A and B are shown apart, each in its own frame.
Chain A
């Protein structure tokens, strides 16, 4: 393994501050350079290690670029049909309620073909975590328009830019899901800067703890990039994300309890 190192004197085990978690397997990620998937995978893996969840975690992977998620995190996995992950997770959590159950889905998976499964699992308040990677495009199949593609945004099936008269407006599925009483924690994060990546980790960690409360669905959207689909370098893509995606998909909590031990979410109509 070839390495580029800084000052060697400081490289000692007692000085170790950050190392890639052992929950990530040795497989090289197949994602394009700069793709946010890798960052989110790593954050999720770190949380699984820190919370000691390896023997409780059951992940449901989607169809899309992250279909191979099961090659990268060393936990038990189920590969779902396109859009159906929340249905699988529903059964898994109801049949094995003491497991940590989560789905990881892209924008086509969750907000196009899987819209019904997304909304109904949230409406039933399944005690699962749904991780939603929104990069406004279909990466795996070559860069087609997604339900979350921005107006005017170019893609291989909207070469002149998304025309809202023909294709409607971007679907703010997270906002819709936040209105459902079955959801307990709904938040929108990103991983394009270190500060945001750290916030995302805190958000997912909260969701992991909330699942133990059995108070409903936790839904974490991560606005992310697709350098290949957007036809930009990774650094340009992250800048474009800040200037274009975030105004449309603002970061922050859409629905959150006051604290981890809260009995009642702040913005919901629950009568719990």
Chain B
């Protein structure tokens, strides 16, 4: 059976570290980084990229629109 796999790209310079994507992600892909971006925000990043299904929940809810989502069948 084909599996749906996703991949996200986060613009970490524009991320404001609100963390809403982390609680919106159904698979636990996203976590907050331990380092800050140049504005001083802890940015979000795909800590467990293999779990991503490309559902785009994170992108849909992101107030700053910093996430781009790709999805494919493998």
Contact = CB atoms under 8 A, between A and B. Distances in A.
Direct interface between A and B, CB < 8 A:
yes
A34 interface: yes
Given A1-B13, A18-B56, A36 B63 contact: yes
Given A4-B12, A17-B6, A36-B63, A234 B18 contact: yes
A29 B11 contact: no
Interface in A1-45: 1-12, 15-20, 24, 28-29, 31-39, 42
Contacts of A271: none
Nearest to A4: B45
Contacts of A11: 7, 9, 70
Contacts of B65: 20, 24, 38, 42
Interface core residue of B33, B58, B64 (most chain A CB under 10 Å): B64
B46 A5 contact: yes
Contacts of A28: 14, 64
A191 interface: yes
Nearest to A194: B57
A6 B9 contact: yes
A174 B29 CA distance: 38
A7 B50 CA distance: 7
B20 A12 contact: no
Contacts of B70: 6, 10-12, 15-17
Contacts of A10: 5-7, 54, 70-72
B63 A4 contact: no
A35 B18 CA distance: 9
Interface string B4-31: 0111111111101111101110000100
A233 B32 CA distance: 14
A238 interface: yes
Nearest to A34: B18
Contacts of B50: 7
B63 A6 contact: no
Contacts of A197: 60-61
Given A1-B13, A2-B37, A4-B10, 12 more contacts: A4-B44, A5-B49, A6-B52, A7-B50, A10-B54, A16-B70, A18-B56, A33-B18, A34-B63, A37-B63, A39-B63, A193-B61
30 contacts: A1-B13, A3-B10, A3-B11, A4-B9, A4-B45, A5-B9, A5-B10, A6-B7, A6-B9, A6-B52, A10-B5, A10-B7, A10-B54, A15-B7, A15-B71, A16-B68, A17-B69, A17-B70, A17-B71, A18-B56, A18-B60, A18-B67, A32-B16, A34-B63, A37-B63, A38-B64, A42-B62, A191-B61, A233-B19, A234-B20
What are the 6 tightest A-B residue pairs by CB atom distance, in nearest-first order? A38-B63, A34-B18, A4-B45, A6-B7, A33-B16, A6-B49
